């Protein structure tokens, strides 16, 4: 392998984990349990495509993530489609009352939760609690 090809492949390989961490994962049964077992701090976003409160939360989350890239480096973000999983055992076990619910989990503990909250300060506080849990 020539030097140029090696450098290109190495750079691509280094970029992939960063790109993967930046994109929220789509919920599938077992995903959250696997991530928690691996020691990750998980930020769950129970949302629906038609929900205006969910859209407002997403705008705030995107703004805060852009301002502080550490959020995406430290926290695993998972989108949970409310229309698909609202009656799922996972959702029931967490006692999620409605779409537009944000929950942070670490290990067996719930670090925090917001329901239908769109204030930037409240969402930032939840993200900061997730970072603190991840760093502990």
Per-residue model confidence as pLDDT tens digits over 67-120: 999 999 999 999 999 999 999 999 999 999 999 999 999 999 999 999 999 999
CATH number at residue 125: 3.40.30.10
Q: Is 26 helix (H, G, I), strand (E, B) or coil?
A: strand
Q: What pLDDT shows up at residue 2?
A: 52
Domain that holds residue 57: 22-135
**Any idea which residue has 């229309």 for tokens?**
83
Is residue 14 a part of any domain in this protein? no
How many distinct structural domains can be found in the chain? 1
- CA gyration radius for the chain? 16
* pTM score: 0.83
Whole-angstrom CA distances from 33 to 37, 38, 104, 128, 132 are 6, 9, 13, 22, 20
């Amino acid at each position: 392998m020539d030097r140029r090809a090696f450098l290109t492949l190495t750079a691509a390989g280094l970029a992939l984990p960063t790109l993967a961490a930046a994109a929220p994962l789509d919920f599938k049964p077992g995903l959250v349990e696997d991530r928690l077992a691996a020691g990750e701090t998980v930020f769950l976003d129970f949302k629906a495509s038609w929900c205006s409160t969910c859209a407002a939360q997403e705008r705030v989350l995107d703004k805060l993530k852009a301002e502080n890239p550490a959020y995406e480096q430290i926290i695993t973000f998972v989108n949970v489609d409310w229309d698909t999983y609202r009656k799922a055992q996972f959702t029931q076990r967490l006692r999620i009352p409605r779409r537009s619910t944000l929950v942070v989990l670490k290990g067996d503990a719930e670090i925090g939760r917001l329901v239908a909250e769109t204030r930037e300060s409240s969402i930032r506080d939840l993200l900061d609690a997730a970072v603190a849990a991840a760093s502990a």
